[in-house]
Amino acid sequence: MDMKRILRVDSLKKTYGEGENRTEALRGLSFDVLEGEFLGIMGPSGSGKTTLLNCVATMISPTGGRILLEDQDVCQFSGNKLAEYRGNRIGYLFQEFELLDNLTAEENIVLPLSLHGISRMDAEVSLNRIAERFDIKDALHKFPGQLSGGQKQRVAAARALISEPSIVLADEPTGALDSANAKVLMDKLLNINVTEKKTIMMVTHAVGVASYCTRILFIRDGEISHELRKKQDEDSDAFYDRIVEVVAQVGGGSAHVL
């Protein structure tokens, strides 16, 4: 059965500065993301990866092109529609956790629901479900300063997913973690992707992290330079080896191993 297209990036451009200081961060990118896909975005520093992710998140506005989530142009959203998009339809997982230090883990996780008027009873149900998925029930009443790096990122992941977004955007989600905690996080994200068909679009430099994906787009100088798809029945080790080959050819960051 064909998978449904959930996101369409169409001729996306982003330019910074003017004249001699003009920089083209994105040069007409076009691609689709399918529902339930685990898409990786790789490329050298400065290639436009995070700019792309931030355009999809509406954290910055593109210079040209369109971003269609479920056939709606998110670049045209404003007011309540934009707030609903950011709060409910996408989840964003940051490299540096971005937790509020004066809130407990529980309060950080349910914050998106609180901001959108979800009842405490409904929030509690969602909290228990997502905390169990990320194995952080024992950490819920602790403040971020009392948590390990791995716990902080799993709390951040739970916050990104608690509102059941259409797509999860992850920007170097393992960048601040050691290899053991990175593997724990990626195993849990993969499990949710497989069992709940949750769509994930992830920027990463790490080849080991990228090997969890089903497809990878390599970006260089604001353009897609290569695409790599995981073959049916291909294990992560074999996919890892193919990613390393492409990184060596087109450049895509350092080959960190989980």
The position carrying tokens 């593997």 is: 183
pTM over 0.95? The answer is no
Lowest mean pLDDT among 15-24, 102-111, 129-138, 214-223: 15-24
Strand pairing report for 199-203 and 223-229: unpaired
**Rounded distance between C-alpha atoms, residue 191 and residue 95, angstroms:** 20
Query: Is the pLDDT confidence value at 257 over 70?
Result: no
Burial class (CB in 10 A: 0-12, 13-18, 19+), 230: buried
The alpha carbon dihedral of 250, 251, 256, 258 has a sign of: negative
Q: What is the pLDDT of residue 146?
A: 97
Q: Please name which of 249, 165, 169, 252 lies closest in space to residue 210, comparing C-alpha atoms.
A: 252
Looking at every residue in the chain, the average pLDDT score rounds to 91
Q: What is the pLDDT of residue 251?
A: 60
Residue 194: helix, strand or coil by DSSP?
helix
| CATH T-level assignment (fold) for domain 5-250 | Rossmann fold (3.40.50)
Mean pLDDT over 70-82 rounds to 92
